[in-house]
Amino acid sequence: MLQGRLFVLGLGPGDPDLMTVKAARMIAAAPVVAFFAKQGRKGHARSMVDGQMRHDVEELRLEYPFTTEVAVEDPRYLAGMNEFYEVCAERLRVPLQTGRDVTLLCEGDPFLYGSAMYLFDRLRTECHAEIVPGVPGMSGCWSRANLPMTHGDDVLSVLPGTLDEESLLACLKLCDAAVLIKVGRNLPKICRVLRAAGLFERAVYVERGTMEGEHIVKLAERKDGPAPYFSMVLVPGRRYAR
């Protein structure tokens, strides 16, 4: 067993005040902090902990080899990301081997579509590995949008916008409320599917929820233009609303 411990920390939806007390306390004490970042960017999770870390902290920047340049269905994507996560796990093993604890940052909640899970999966049998939950991005978004999402027996689905049109439509037919994440370049497809499902008028678009530059609007009233990485579409359930 590796002597150091791995802590995977959920940082919440963006507003630093929505970080848990536990996460804030652990960041302030962490000797080694690891985080993912896109090429040429500081890293969103890293920015969220600006000014909160120890002055002598060791930072491990884990830079994605690509993000949207290679399509998810391209075999190169899976192979490239697999190799990337192997290299990342190896980098985390170095401090862990010498008994130093590593704190891996993650936006929202780590177990909800977080990349940190891939390192947790690789290292969990080799060391003490622990998850610190965070407020999920969707929770921050529907709260800021003042949107009650599920009433009574409403069924909620979380759907990646990267799914194909047919799958998205089939999933939407099975639920009362939906959260569509990974919107970005998939927004036109998401709009088509919501129209086909008769849900377009009910949908709300949230960009950068709880963060600086937040923008919330009914999807039907959104002006054309690209959607950023941090955007989602919310479809509140209405079947059991009283």
Ligand X SMILES: C[S@@+](CC[C@H](N)C(=O)[O-])C[C@H]1O[C@@H](n2cnc3c(N)ncnc32)[C@H](O)[C@@H]1O
Nearer to ligand X, 2 or 181 (CB): 181
The C-alpha atoms of residue 147 and residue 154 are separated, in whole angstroms, by 14
Nearer to ligand X, 95 or 231 (CB): 231
Please state the closest distance from residue 39 (CB atom) to ligand X, in A: 17
Q: How many residues bind ligand X (CB under 6 A)?
A: 24
Query: Is 232 one of the binding residues for ligand X (CB under 6 A)?
Result: yes
Q: Which of residues 91-120 bind ligand X (CB under 6 A)?
A: 107-109, 112-114
Please choose, from the candidates 59, 123, 127, 56, the residue with its C-alpha nearest in 3D space to the C-alpha of residue 98. 127
- Which window, 40-48, 67-75, 88-96, 224-232, contacts ligand X (CB under 6 A)? 224-232
The C-alpha atoms of residue 192 and residue 199 are separated, in whole angstroms, by 10
Element containing residue 234 per DSSP (H, E): strand 231-235
Query: Is 231 one of the binding residues for ligand X (CB under 6 A)?
Result: yes
Query: Residue 5 in contact with residue 34, Cβ under 8 Å?
Result: no
Q: Which of 64, 66, 118, 229 binds ligand X (CB under 6 A)?
A: 229
**And the tokens for 82?**
């697999």
Query: Is 177 one of the binding residues for ligand X (CB under 6 A)?
Result: no
Query: Residue 140 in contact with residue 15, Cβ under 8 Å?
Result: yes
Q: Which of 4, 43, 95, 137 binds ligand X (CB under 6 A)?
A: 137
The C-alpha atoms of residue 84 and residue 13 are separated, in whole angstroms, by 25
Query: Is 182 one of the binding residues for ligand X (CB under 6 A)?
Result: yes
DSSP-derived pairing of the beta strands 5-10 and 32-37: unpaired
Please state the closest distance from residue 49 (CB atom) to ligand X, in A: 16
**Is residue 203 exposed (0-12), middle (13-18) or buried (19+ Cβ within 10 Å)?**
buried
DSSP characters over 128-161:
EEEEE----HHHHHHHHTT-----TT--EEEEET
> Other C-beta atoms within 10 Å of 22: how many?
14
- Which window, 32-40, 57-65, 166-174, 181-189, contacts ligand X (CB under 6 A)? 181-189
Please state the closest distance from residue 145 (CB atom) to ligand X, in A: 10
**And the tokens for 176?**
């009362």
Query: Is 210 one of the binding residues for ligand X (CB under 6 A)?
Result: yes
Query: Is 181 one of the binding residues for ligand X (CB under 6 A)?
Result: yes
Please state the closest distance from residue 35 (CB atom) to ligand X, in A: 13
**And the tokens for 145?**
């949008």
In the chain, the amino acid numbered 24 is: A
Query: Is 136 one of the binding residues for ligand X (CB under 6 A)?
Result: yes
Q: Which of 96, 149, 183, 197 binds ligand X (CB under 6 A)?
A: 183
Q: Which of residues 190-209 bind ligand X (CB under 6 A)?
A: 206, 208-209
List residues near ligand X by CB under 6 A.
Answer: 13-14, 107-109, 112-114, 136-137, 140-141, 181-183, 206, 208-211, 229-232
